[in-house]
Structure 1
Amino acid sequence: MILRYLAIAMVAAFAILPTALWATIGSFDPETATRAYTDTLQGAARDRSDAYFEGGYWLVLWGTIVAVLAEWILLRTGLSARFRDLGERITKRRWLVPALYAIPYVIVSTLIVLPWTIYTGFVREGHYGLMNLGFGAWLGEQAIGLGLGIIGMALFLLALFAVIRRSPKRWWLWGTGIIAAFFTIGIAIMPVFVSPLFNDYTPMEDGPLRDRILAMAEAHNVPADNVYVFDQSRQHDRISANVSGLFGTMRISLNDNLLERSTPEEVEAVMGHELGHYVLNHVLVLVVVLSLIMGLGLFVTAKLAPRILARHGEKWGVRDIGDPAAFPLLVAILTVYLMLMTPAQNSLVRIVESQADAFGLDAARQPDGFASIAMKLSEYRKIEPGALEELVFFDHPSGRTRVRMAMDWKAANVESPVMVVPPAPEAEPEG
């Protein structure tokens, strides 16, 4: 009789439990848990996210057309030849001419594509609520980038045309090594010399969260004794973090948006992912594989460029492939090649990102933090693409893919897992 009354009482109690609490009781189903997260992005917010990301597909094509058109203008108008002539008037040292050529080349080509850059980098970002800078401040950052581009291009052309002159038939092979070296140097100097030109980096305040990040780093032999916060909210509201640098320049950094918009569990999930990139040597992997992709592009360019110059070089004022004035042609061929290689490049990056996701889940052990941060990243990344769409256009796993990975990890690694029902998103203001 007592057991019967207890049973009736338990049934009555369960009958009045809130739906959200009932969802946490019983067997854990990763698919149901995944859907609970993905369903929080609905209505206008999902439409905006999908429209922004899908618009990027067309930007790949139109960006290629704009870039090729800019290089064609430099060749067709003879501007490229004039830049070379200017360099030859300034110096009699042939090896130095490509570096001098780079200065007007970078400036003029930047001005030609400036309307496109303003649209894609400022107007479109502002339209989707992803830009916090005013136009003047944005233009100032572009000017800094222009200065860095001139220096980098001058050094690159100096090295590239040196190997073209010395090995006209196999310059593409040596050029691949030059690209790999520039990739490596860029990664090494970026956190110390370049990033501080755009943002202020300050040590993260002492506290449990900083201690947890450094403990994860120490547990995986990441040589870091500090965590830096940079003020990226001045540019946009996106969440970002990185473990960057080489050869003693390595640092752990996270932006202020991550701290202000995320819970400690979400921050731990993100930093576990970023530590994964370092531990799994993804920088080295990306440098090697991307250099090989560029090497194939240089090989294709080395085969096509002489044939095109044989037909059009004289009217462009370009002497041969060793002439710095031929550089716009090399860029145009490579630009088309890289557009065609977009699926391969995206798949490469997506694979290493997925590996870092798996590492981060093991390191931070915050599956729900990882799932909820994936939803915040989906504010500007299409959350549920088709399989082919994700393969071709996504350089990171989609939001749904990432949430499902987290829920599968939770089912396999958490004892008696319960499903978390995320809170409904706040209603957007009208008007």
Structure 2
Amino acid sequence: MTATPDRRVALVVTAVGGSAFVVLAILLVPWHPVPGGTPGPVPAASVFTAEQIARAEDYSRWARVWSWSSLAVSLVVSCVLGFSRWGPRLVGRLPGWWWVRVVLAVAAVVVVGRVITLPFAVLMRRHVLDYGLSEQGWGGFAADLVRTEAVQVFATSVLLVVLIGCARRWERAWPAVAAALAGALVVLGSFVYPVLVEPIFNDFTSLPDGPLRTQVLALADQEGVPVDDVLVADASRRTTTLNAYVSGFGSTRRVVLYDNLVNDVPRDETLSVVAHELAHAKHDDPRTGTLIGAAGAVFGVGLLALLVGALAGRGRPPMRDPAVVPLVLALVAIGTLLSSPIQNAISRQIETRADVDALLVTRDARAFEAVQRELALRSLADPTPPAVSQFWFGSHPIGLTRIAIARQLDDRGY
């Protein structure tokens, strides 16, 4: 059978996006970031006490139960709405112009999914509170939940309006046009996220002049990373976990420190965390993530066009119909889950390079190991998570591997 122009265009878009993704991953991702090779993890007993290990394992075990259960139920809900008649019937009841129906359909699917999985979110929240990982009240938790869903509805609605709008305007060539626009939206999102989304969840203040600010800026200068400001986020109202990050591009780039990192951790350990984050900026990791993400978006749009086209021939709505929204969201949910191992494998390599760079810059393996231990204790991270969990969902190397890297580099005189 001769392929229709839609299918040929979709095949080309899929091939271009997939090829670009592979090429960028090969060229930009540090697949061998550790001199001498990445060592195996150090024994948990060499870092933590038996009581600390047992507590972290118990917390992590139930955290996986609640989070994986929520993921499974969410996926089932998405598939039921996407692959049955219920989703199109729901959209058919919505009023307004086509783009209004798209936004309302996205909101309806997201809200239904959140309501059905809310018991798991509550159970997870109680679990967090029981282990002292947050002091935030239920009101603050609910507000953050609403903010998260609102951001998700907005971002997803923009993407779906673009996709369906392209399908309505360019019936045959829409996959190519939509893929280009989706890639552009990924790039745009990387620029606007620090200035539009981050302030929704945290309040930021400039770190006052003093030794820590001076040392952070000196470290940025040593790494060759221009920094516009050093900010402190009021993260302790939500979590006890320590963190820092470098966000933004160009004039918007800033080092952001969690307030509990500033207040609760010795300065040399704080600088070790900052050095890791500055390494991401030094190696243009945000750019790498953006380019790979844009290529992935192009590939995803091409694959989505192929799947929706195939299903449209079996009674499912075509891409130009707002009733396709539940089907698209179901396919995206499945694709996101299936692609997680690839995304996280790339992330782990990039994070490992940042660790190595931080160790080479600070030359303080002791502080690095100390802060890794503190990070694990603060978050009750499982020191030895199940292999499938780390493979599928682990965006960072486990703490015991990071400590092994520090010890190896220190022993070899780096």
TM bracket (short chain): 0.7 to 0.9
Q: Distance in 2 between matches of 1:108 and 1:274?
A: 37
- How far apart are the structure 2 equivalents of 1:38 and 1:268? 26
The aligned runs of 1:346-357 (5 Å cut-off) are 346-357=344-355
1:83 to 83, 87, 91: 91
Q: Which residue of 2 aligns with 1:62?
A: 69
What's 1:322 paired with? Answer: 320
Contact 1:265–1:369 (CA under 8 A) maintained in structure 2: yes
Please say if 1:245 is aligned against 2:248: yes
2:412 partner SS = helix
The reply on whether 1:395 has 2:395 as its aligned counterpart is yes
| Structure-2 change in CA distance of 1:105 and 1:247 (3 Å) | farther
For 1:222, the equivalent position in structure 2 comes to 225
TM-score under structure 1 normalisation? 0.76
- 1:391-415 C-alpha deviation (Å, 9 max, x unpaired): 444211111111111122222336x
Q: Which secondary structure does the structure 1 equivalent of 2:279 belong to?
A: helix
Instruction: Name 1:342's counterpart in structure 2.
Output: 340
1:304 equivalent to 2:302? Answer no
| Counterpart in the other structure of 2:408 | 408
Aligned position for 2:361: 363
Task: Give the Cα–Cα distance (whole angstroms) in 1 for the partners of residues 393 and 149 of structure 2.
Answer: 28
The correspondence of residues 138-149 of structure 1 with structure 2, limited to 5 A, is 138-149=141-152
Correspondence for 1:112 among 116, 123, 140:
116
Per-residue CA deviation, residues 6-47 of structure 1 (Å, 9 max, x unaligned), is xxxxxxxxxxxxxxxxxxxxxxxxx9x966x85241223212
Which letter maps to 1:45? Q
Shift of 1:217: 0.9
How far residue 359 of structure 1 moved from its aligned partner, in angstroms, is 1.3
Q: Structure 1 residues 384 and 145, CA, compared in 2 at 3 Å: closer, same or farther? A: closer
1:285 is aligned to: 288
Unaligned stretches of 5+ in structure 2?
Answer: 1-38
CA RMSD, aligned part only?
A: 3.0
**CA separation in 2, counterparts of 1:71 and 1:302?**
18
Greater Cα shift, 275-284 or 292-301: 292-301
Pick aligned residue for 1:263 from 258, 261, 266: 266
Query: Could you tell me which of 53, 73, 92 is aligned with 1:46?
Result: 53
- Do the aligned residues in 2 keep the contact of 1:57 with 1:393 (CA within 8 Å)? no
TM superposition score normalised by structure 2 = 0.79
For residues 47-78 of structure 1, give each alpha carbon's deviation from its aligned partner in whole angstroms, at most 9, with x where no partner exists: 23234445565667534432232224545463
Tell me the matched-pair count. Answer: 372
Aligned residues with identical type, % of pairs: 26
Mapped partners of 1:173, 1:47: distance in 2:
52
**Rg larger in 1 or in 2?**
1
* 1:204 pairs with 2:207: yes
Q: Which ranges in structure 1 are unaligned for 5 or more consecutive residues?
A: 1-30, 314-318, 415-431
Amino acid at match of 1:86: L
Deviation at 1:127, TM superposition (A): 3.9
CA contact (8 A) 2:231 2:255 kept: yes
Question: What letter is aligned with 1:65?
Answer: A
Contact 2:136 2:238 in 1 (8 A): yes
Partners in 2 of 1:392 and 1:197 — Cα distance?
Answer: 29
Does structure 2 retain, via aligned residues, the 8 Å contact 1:48–1:128? no
CA contact (8 A) 1:84 1:98 kept: no
Tell me: CA distance 1:169–1:43, structure 2 relative to 1, closer, same or farther (3 Å): farther
Gap change, CA 1:324 and 1:396, over 3 Å in 2:
same
Residue 276 in 1 paired to residue 276 in 2? no
1:304-331 deviation per Cα after TM superposition (whole angstroms, max 9, x unaligned): 3344444453xxxxx3232122121122
Contact 1:133 / 1:236 at 8 angstroms: preserved in 2?
yes
